[in-house]
Structure 1
């Protein structure tokens, strides 16, 4: 939005007067950094790391001194959010993993508020987007700044994750060509490449995530006619435990490059350290499965 010149404050249509838009932010803005590049798990070389570290540190400071400081409970001086800041660290190159993000500190959200945001996010998000769009247009009108129809809405549009199973498919093909037997993670039956599908364990329709931990080999008939967009039941998931863990070991952890990516993606999306025991990662995935059933009422797949 800043790059497009849309005003973020009254009498402002650029980064010069924004409190958080200091040297790091402006550098990322001018060198063409795409927001998708700042995802959790991304790795930056020294030059880009310097700008990214500065920009995140500036944003963290602004959050701590402004919204987190002034957001209070109704009729109370008690802050809604608790801020725990850490000392800024220097680095010649960085990986935006959980450990690095924790170096900037923590923003503690009350449990009841977090649960409400998760459950009602489908209604809260459109309201916030509409209100921010209205504010930008109000600022622009005061400045007699023309904003083409649809420009603000396009800038606020959520960028959907890319659905991709290619890496998991290549891993399955590699295993199939070796002396190891490729099997369907849900049925345990031998799986020839002619019947191979790559399934999202937690369905894409409910959890749009193509992280490696969420992808597994599945018989095409089981995937497309039985499981489809449903969440596996506790019984099916427990029965598939050893096959899921075995797939992770053969497909990802046996490959140095994929192993590092697998660990980063686990740490970013599941409540467990990506370098932990695979049994713990399975338990974290099972916890995420249960949350989908409870919070989103996703249909359950109960029989193979």
Structure 2
């Protein structure tokens, strides 16, 4: 098979959105265990910003992005679960999803049903897998709980709102504006706290009749760490799964004791989808909700691949709602 050309977004040095450059690279035939994907849509996530800035360092130069969808163009030796022409997606890298064509380890690739579009799959994989492991594995929600979920109007948040509603869980969300609060409510949040105008722990105490919540899901990080701990019941679980406002640093474990013998975990998607079987099972869980009409993937913004810089600017400034995707012709 001849080598093909692909356009990619490349990071030559860590920094702001201006370091993102459009480049052309050679893509060889897929090696053993690899799947070559002609990509149709690419999902954006805050982890892309962490990689761009060097918070999560990778050897330079490097690509960006961990999730995308497309059509199988070729398969390497030993790949049997997908074939050329299949509609597929992946949500766990490796890094370099901002590309028109690429080779991906077969174990990361899942088939997507016809009921899920390429854009939905690209916007859904990492975010959907995130909510799946948060709600079904890290702290398995059974229904009738009241929980706190920060950034409820974001890409992960809107999936969480809908999934919580499907489970019969009362999700209290936080948001930064009345518009975002209304959006989260529309997609299933039981109540939303505007953290720019309200005291979050005080409002949680009021909404729970003084009981607080058994679990807080926090993808914001530094800005919400203290308030999150103050919302937890004794022996509650703080699930810190992201750093949108910066990493949590200088943690004093004595604070956990003082606030009621609290638990803290810092989980990642990779740890919960470590095998091909676990990946497919988690993805199927997500796709079933979409197919059943219980999960509407809200794509708030679309950018061309060449405009990745603009997409990063919008994401970093919190001017986005729902998911953001890069589109390919």
Same fold (TM over 0.5): no
Higher helix share: 1
- Relative contact order (alpha carbons < 8 A, sep ≥ 6): 1 or 2 greater? 2
Higher strand share: 2
TM-score normalised by the chain length of structure 2: 0.25
**Larger CA Rg, structure 1 vs 2:** 1
